[in-house]
DNA sequence: CTTGTTGCAAATATTTTGCACCCAT
DNA sequence: ATGGGTGCAAAATATTTGCAACAAG
């Protein structure tokens, strides 16, 4: 229901900034990016897109269902491509790397708990903040 | 380990702003408050504490382990008394009311998942955003 | 007294917006 | 050509900080 394959079907014109940003999410090795991160990557590549446009495009993409917005512990919003498969996140406190996971048991328990409390779940966010110290972290810093 | 009962044991002098804010968390019916919310409540009660001080006190209390900070979907931080019992949250999208819950199964699954991915959990946050429509919501608006 | 604490205003950080100009259709 | 899109600078929002005055122990 919520993932038009392209810009047109979302009612958005195919402009350079939009194509560049979308391409970044599709090709970058880090699936999770912030507005400033995107701005920096684009400028490093010689693409001059204003920070204001990055923010506008991210908001439009989120509303179009192309992107998902996350609020990790840092103050800035982080976005990722919405591939339609819900998942939760492990955020590494050492290197900021984000790992995804999905657990049927956790999903089921949440639904039951919300129901028991008289609520209808709209969505949820589960972030595990952890350490990759004992792990072969790809982004060790 | 992380919940001194009073200000002194946290190395903080007993000042009026600190006592007022602590008392607010202990007596207010809403356990979850933002800096601005605290500022407004204090001023409605004729207590003149500057917003800067509210922020400073909240940060100090958090570092002393007296308070826990949360990042719900809104941009502002929300705090609650740290009573030492970890729990997760259901946030009502209709009335902003926050309900707490704890589930052994979810906790266990998280620990296992993190281990399977090679991480050591530092902490985690699970927020369920829901609707109290079919429920007798105490803060219906 | 002495050091920590507060208020105020200015500074940051992140994100949004008004407006004139530009580009995709 | 025309309505949406963009850049720039200013505004808005949330939070932090420098500094002089002040209060707790």
> Tens digits of per-residue pLDDT, B78-95?
999 999 999 999 998 877
Judge if A33 and A74 occupy the same domain: yes
Span CA (B19) to C1' (C7), Å = 17
Judge if B23 and B44 occupy the same domain: yes
What is the span of the domain harbouring residue B108?
Answer: 88-130
* pLDDT grade for B134, boundaries at 50, 70 and 90: low
Give me chain A's average pLDDT, please.
Answer: 90
Give long-range contacts, CB 8 A cutoff, 24+ apart: B81-86: B81/B25, B81/B26, B81/B31, B82/B2, B82/B3, B83/B3, B84/B2, B84/B3
Region B17-38: mean pLDDT is 96
Judge if B19 and B73 occupy the same domain: yes
Judge if B93 and B108 occupy the same domain: yes
CB pairs below 8 Å between A and B: how many?
110
Q: Does B38 or A137 have the greater pLDDT score?
A: B38
List the single best residue of B77, B114, B128 to mutate versus A (max A Cβ within 10 A): B128
Whole-number percent of chain B with pLDDT over 90: 76
Rg (CA), chain B: 17
How many Å apart are CA A38 and CA A75, to the nearest integer? 16
| Nearest chain A Cα distance for residue B127, angstroms | 5
Contact between B22 and B62 under an 8 Å Cβ cutoff? The reply is no
In a domain, B1, yes or no: no
Chain A CB contacts of B59 under 8 Å are: none
Domain count, chain B: 2
With an 8 Å Cβ cutoff, are B120 and A133 in contact?
Answer: yes
Residues of A with CB under 8 A from a CB of B: 71-73, 90, 92-93, 99, 101, 103, 105-106, 109-110, 113-114, 117-136
pTM: 0.90
Contacts of residue A91, Cβ cutoff 8 Å, sequence gap at least 6: A72, A73, A97, A98, A99, A127, A128, A129, A130
Instruction: Please report the pLDDT score of residue A141 as a whole number.
Output: 46
Q: Residue A99 carries which DSSP code?
A: E
**Is it the case that residue A17 has pLDDT exceeding 60?**
yes
């Amino acid at each position: 229901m919520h993932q038009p394959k392209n810009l047109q079907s979302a009612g958005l014109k195919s402009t350079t900034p939009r194509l560049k940003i979308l391409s970044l999410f599709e090709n970058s090795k880090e699936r999770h990016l912030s507005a400033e991160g995107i701005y920096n990557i684009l400028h490093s590549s010689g693409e001059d897109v204003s920070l204001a446009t990055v923010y506008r495009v991210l908001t439009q993409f989120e509303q179009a269902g192309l992107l998902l917005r996350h609020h990790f512990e840092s103050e800035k919003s982080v976005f990722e491509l919405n591939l339609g498969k819900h998942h939760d996140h492990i955020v590494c406190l050492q290197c900021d790397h984000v790992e995804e996971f999905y657990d049927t048991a956790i999903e089921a328990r949440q639904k039951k708990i919300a129901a028991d409390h008289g609520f209808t779940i709209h969505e949820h966010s589960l972030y595990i903040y952890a350490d990759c110290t004992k792990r072969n972290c790809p982004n060790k810093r």
